[in-house]
């Protein structure tokens, strides 16, 4: 059995616990003036999502017990339970919906309690949910509240969206004029015409083919099969998608989002609230969130691409990345507004995920799904998940928080660090947000459960160590006198954390807890197994980069005791 020692010297920095991830993002606490608003970002407080919840999105009218107060109560209750907070701790509520009478927000919130808090009703078309979210965020970052509920819901009529009022100016008239001046107005639903014509324009300008839009729908329908909240969970072939009923060229029925009933909710909190309530392990920071509206180019350039929000999306995205100190390459997972497949492709370019005209290449390369550079709409997107207007932005937030917390089950994207949200409403409004884990050194990267633990080969090692501690923990504690944190990465990038306490009481072995110890050992799963069985030389492993140690080097050398015990066991 090789001796676990290293005959070399290391600088103190090599083994210092890395707390840099706890520091603010570049520019986050710096005194940076935002040119668009003149707001000094140094005065802003950090904002975290500490709880999310949503209903399953349903076909309108499918459930008899699904009026908006009931669906809102379900989503908000789930979010509060997720955060471990009561309604009495919520100081304000921002509630979004498009279809409904005034003060529906109050009526929905009354299902949760009657505490007299302010309730703000929000309507920004399809961006309503994210508008409620950014309003809640601003209350916290401005110091007006410490815990705010963002809630969105929609009870919709079946079929395509229709104009509600006919005795006043339609807020979409300028956008419709662009359609009339370019491809002309047809009998198809107006939203499908606007986004479909944007797709036509992209085809004419860049040579994009109808199959590229169909491939987006193919991807999103496939993603939705793993989402229990999705209205549709059916997978289709490319031929089925392209041959489904034509809505407006190049869009077919399976490339258009359905109308839906449903609700989503998020609990936002300040840093003080997070720390005082012990929510660090689930807090997801909104590191940047920007809203923009239409620019002159939307109406003056006779471009359907610009009329459906390309330029305002680009502006909001540029500001968000700049204020977060992040680049597009930092992003792993994206939830974007795919109301129609054409819009998803155009949004790739508007967000800067690829250069203008290169959306088709991103699709053909597979860099928009699992195994590629980005996983876009792992939830199934609006096309499959559904689109209850007021809930969509909050459902996107929920999905991205689950991804960052490692709780997306079969949809889980490997090694998520940064998530990007895009929610747009014609008329117009767009919200772009960036999310990261709030407390990097304290939050476990992936969900913890017995089934998750069993996916690691080296789990057998820690079971043996636990068995030894159970038999004679006191002597082990006397001999080891330390807390060992093991961060083990599987082949798919999933991280498992074991903490072996051989310092207190009779010792213990815990999986999926706060990754904190006197020394931290970082290895791949198979390498950890081989090391502990004596099949991998520790010195060689270190020089090859297979073994990383942070913290107390002297304590790390005591691992040979665990190694010997595991090697003698029958695993």
CA 97 to CA 64: how far, in whole Å? 20
- 425 shares a domain with 548: no
Residue 240 dihedral angles phi and psi, to the nearest 5°:
-65, -40
Question: Which entry of 126, 257, 304, 342 is annotated as an active-site residue?
Answer: 126
Strand 482-489 and strand 495-502: the pairing is: antiparallel
Answer yes or no: is 184 within a domain: yes
Residue 337 annotated as catalytic = no
**What string of DSSP letters covers 454-521?**
TT-TTHHHHHHHHHHHHHHHHHHHHHH-EEEEEEEE-TTS-EEEEEEEESSTT-EEEESS----SEEE
- 297 shares a domain with 229: yes
CA 284 to CA 333: how far, in whole Å? 14
Residue 388's pLDDT is what?
Answer: 96
On the question of pLDDT at 571 being above 80, the answer is no
- 475 shares a domain with 433: no
Answer yes or no: is 223 within a domain: yes
Residue 5 dihedral angles phi and psi, to the nearest 5°:
-145, 160
Residue 513's pLDDT is what?
Answer: 79
- 162 falls in which pLDDT band (50, 70, 90)? low
**Between 458 and 80, whose confidence is greater?**
80
How buried is residue 1: exposed, middle or buried, by Cβ count under 10 Å (0-12/13-18/19+)? Answer: exposed
- Show the domain range for 178: 47-159+172-437
Report the domain count for the chain: 2
CA 448 to CA 407: how far, in whole Å? 9
Dihedral sign (CA 135, 139, 140, 142): positive
Answer yes or no: is 10 within a domain: no
- 457 shares a domain with 433: no
**CB atoms near residue 177 (< 10 Å):** 14
The CA angle 418-277-518, to the nearest 5 degrees, is: 70
The CA angle 132-135-136, to the nearest 5 degrees, is: 85
Answer yes or no: is 167 within a domain: no
- 81 shares a domain with 178: yes
Residue 16's pLDDT is what?
Answer: 30
Who's near 147: CB < 8 A, 6+ residues apart? Answer: 85, 89, 90, 91, 140, 267, 268, 269, 270, 273
Peptide bond into 250 cis (omega under 30): yes
- What's the whole-number mean pLDDT along residues 324-334? 97
Alpha-helical runs (H) found in 91-143: 104-109, 128-141
> Which of helix, strand or coil describes residue 418?
strand
Answer yes or no: is 54 within a domain: yes
On the question of pLDDT at 37 being above 90, the answer is no
pLDDT in tens, 62-104: 888 889 999 999 999 999 999 999 999 999 999 999 999 999 9
**Between 174 and 531, whose confidence is greater?**
174
- What's the whole-number mean pLDDT along residues 140-161? 90
- 272 shares a domain with 224: yes
- 87 shares a domain with 214: yes
CA 130 to CA 392: how far, in whole Å? 8
- 228 shares a domain with 96: yes
Residue 447's alpha-carbon distances to 286, 374, 406, 442, in angstroms, are 20, 21, 5, 14
On the question of pLDDT at 288 being above 70, the answer is yes
pLDDT in tens, 199-234: 999 999 999 999 999 999 999 999 999 999 999 999
Strands ordered across the beta sheet of 418-425: 119-122, 92-96, 147-154, 262-270, 47-54, 284-292, 429-437, 418-425, 333-335, 375-376
Residue after which a domain boundary falls, among 408, 437, 466: 437
For the chain, the first-to-last Cα distance in angstroms comes to 17
CA 470 to CA 297: how far, in whole Å? 70
CA 226 to CA 79: how far, in whole Å? 21
- 489 shares a domain with 551: yes
Answer yes or no: is 31 within a domain: no
- 299 falls in which pLDDT band (50, 70, 90)? very high
Residue 472's pLDDT is what?
Answer: 85
- Percent of the chain residues past pLDDT 70, beyond the cut: 88
On the question of pLDDT at 117 being above 80, the answer is yes
Residue after which a domain boundary falls, among 405, 437, 469: 437
The CA angle 385-316-272, to the nearest 5 degrees, is: 80
CA 404 to CA 282: how far, in whole Å? 9
CA 327 to CA 417: how far, in whole Å? 12
**CB atoms near residue 568 (< 10 Å):** 12
* C-beta of residue 431 within 8 angstroms of C-beta of residue 425: no
On the question of pLDDT at 10 being above 70, the answer is no
Locus of tokens 């616990």: 17
- What's the whole-number mean pLDDT along residues 351-376? 97
Residue 157's pLDDT is what?
Answer: 80
Residue 24's pLDDT is what?
Answer: 36
Q: What does the block give as tokens for 333?
A: 């997972």
- What's the whole-number mean pLDDT along residues 243-256? 97
- What's the whole-number mean pLDDT along residues 535-564? 77
- 401 shares a domain with 299: yes
Which secondary structure element, helix H or strand E, spans residue 235, and what is its range?
none
Residue 562's pLDDT is what?
Answer: 72
* C-beta of residue 145 within 8 angstroms of C-beta of residue 269: no
On the question of pLDDT at 321 being above 90, the answer is yes
- 565 falls in which pLDDT band (50, 70, 90)? low
Adjacent-strand bridge partners of 263: 153
Residue 42's pLDDT is what?
Answer: 54
Answer yes or no: is 397 within a domain: yes
Answer yes or no: is 286 within a domain: yes
Q: Name the average pLDDT for the chain.
A: 87
- What's the whole-number mean pLDDT along residues 153-178? 83
pLDDT in tens, 270-283: 999 999 999 998 99
- What's the whole-number mean pLDDT along residues 122-140? 98
Residue after which a domain boundary falls, among 437, 462, 497: 437
Q: Write the CATH number for 484.
A: 3.30.1050.10
- What's the whole-number mean pLDDT along residues 34-49? 65
Question: Which entry of 212, 248, 337, 387 is annotated as an active-site residue?
Answer: 387
Strand 147-154 and strand 92-96: the pairing is: parallel
Residue 126 annotated as catalytic = yes
CA 251 to CA 383: how far, in whole Å? 12
Phi-psi region of 568 (alpha: psi -120 to 50; beta: other; left: phi over 0): alpha
On the question of pLDDT at 51 being above 50, the answer is yes
- 191 shares a domain with 258: yes
Among 309-323, 423-437, 538-552, the minimum mean pLDDT is found in 538-552
- 449 falls in which pLDDT band (50, 70, 90)? very low
Residue 441's pLDDT is what?
Answer: 41
Q: Write the CATH number for 317.
A: 3.40.47.10
**Between 401 and 37, whose confidence is greater?**
401
* C-beta of residue 80 within 8 angstroms of C-beta of residue 93: no
- 418 shares a domain with 461: no
């Amino acid at each position: 059995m090789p001796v676990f020692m290293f005959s070399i010297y290391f600088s103190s920095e090599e083994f210092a616990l890395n707390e840099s991830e706890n520091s603010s993002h570049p520019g986050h606490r710096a005194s940076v003036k935002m040119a668009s608003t003149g707001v000094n970002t140094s005065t802003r407080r950090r904002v975290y999502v500490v709880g999310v919840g949503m209903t399953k999105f349903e076909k309108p009218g499918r459930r008899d017990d699904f009026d908006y107060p009931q669906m809102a109560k379900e989503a908000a209750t789930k979010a509060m339970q997720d955060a471990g907070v009561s309604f009495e701790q919520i100081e304000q509520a921002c509630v979004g919906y498009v279809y409904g009478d005034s003060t529906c927000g109050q009526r929905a919130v009354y299902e949760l309690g009657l505490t007299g808090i302010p309730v703000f009703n929000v309507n920004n078309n399809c961006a309503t949910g994210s508008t409620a979210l950014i309003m809640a965020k601003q209350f916290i970052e401005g110091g007006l509240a410490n815990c705010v509920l963002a809630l969105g819901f929609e009870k919709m009529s079946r079929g395509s969206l229709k104009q509600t009022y006919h005795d006043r100016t339609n807020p979409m008239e300028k956008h419709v004029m662009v359609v009339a001046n370019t491809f002309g107005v047809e009998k198809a639903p107006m939203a499908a015409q606007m986004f479909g014509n944007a797709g036509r324009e992209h085809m004419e300008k860049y040579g994009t083919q109808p199959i590229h839009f169909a491939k987006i729908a193919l991807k999103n329908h496939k993603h939705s099969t793993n989402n229990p909240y999705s209205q549709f969970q059916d997978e289709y072939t490319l031929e089925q998608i392209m041959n489904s009923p034509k809505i407006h060229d190049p869009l077919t029925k399976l490339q258009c989002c359905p109308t839906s009933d449903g609700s989503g909710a998020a609990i936002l909190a300040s840093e003080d609230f997070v720390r005082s309530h012990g929510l660090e392990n689930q807090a997801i920071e909104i590191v940047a969130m920007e809203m923009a509206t239409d620019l002159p180019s939307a109406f003056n350039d006779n471009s359907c691409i610009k009329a459906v929000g390309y330029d305002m999306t680009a502006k909001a995205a540029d500001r968000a990345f700049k204020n977060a100190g992040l680049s597009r390459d930092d992003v792993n997972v994206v939830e974007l507004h795919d109301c129609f497949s054409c819009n998803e492709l155009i949004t790739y370019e508007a967000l800067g995920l690829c250069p203008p005209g290169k959306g088709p290449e991103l699709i053909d390369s597979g860099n928009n799904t699992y195994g590629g550079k980005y996983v876009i709409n792992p939830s199934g997107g609006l096309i499959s998940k559904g689109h209850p207007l007021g809930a969509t932005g909050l459902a996107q937030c929920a999905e991205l928080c689950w991804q960052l917390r490692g709780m997306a089950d079969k949809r889980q994207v490997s090694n998520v660090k940064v998530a990007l949200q895009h929610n747009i409403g014609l008329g117009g409004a767009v919200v772009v947000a960036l999310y990261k884990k709030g407390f990097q050194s304290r939050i476990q990267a992936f969900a913890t459960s017995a089934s998750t633990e069993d996916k690691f080969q080296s789990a057998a090692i820690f079971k043996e160590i636990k068995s030894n501690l159970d038999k004679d923990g006191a002597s082990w504690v006397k001999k080891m006198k330390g807390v060992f944190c093991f961060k083990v990465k599987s082949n798919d990038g999933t991280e498992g954390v074991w903490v072996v306490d051989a310092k207190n009481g009779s010792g213990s072995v815990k999986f999926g807890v706060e990754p904190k110890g006197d020394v931290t050992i970082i290895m791949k799963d198979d390498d950890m197994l081989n090391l502990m069985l004596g099949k991998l030389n520790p010195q060689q492993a270190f020089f090859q980069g297979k073994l990383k140690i942070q913290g107390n080097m002297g304590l790390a050398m005591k691992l040979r005791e665990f190694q010997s015990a595991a090697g003698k066991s029958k695993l």
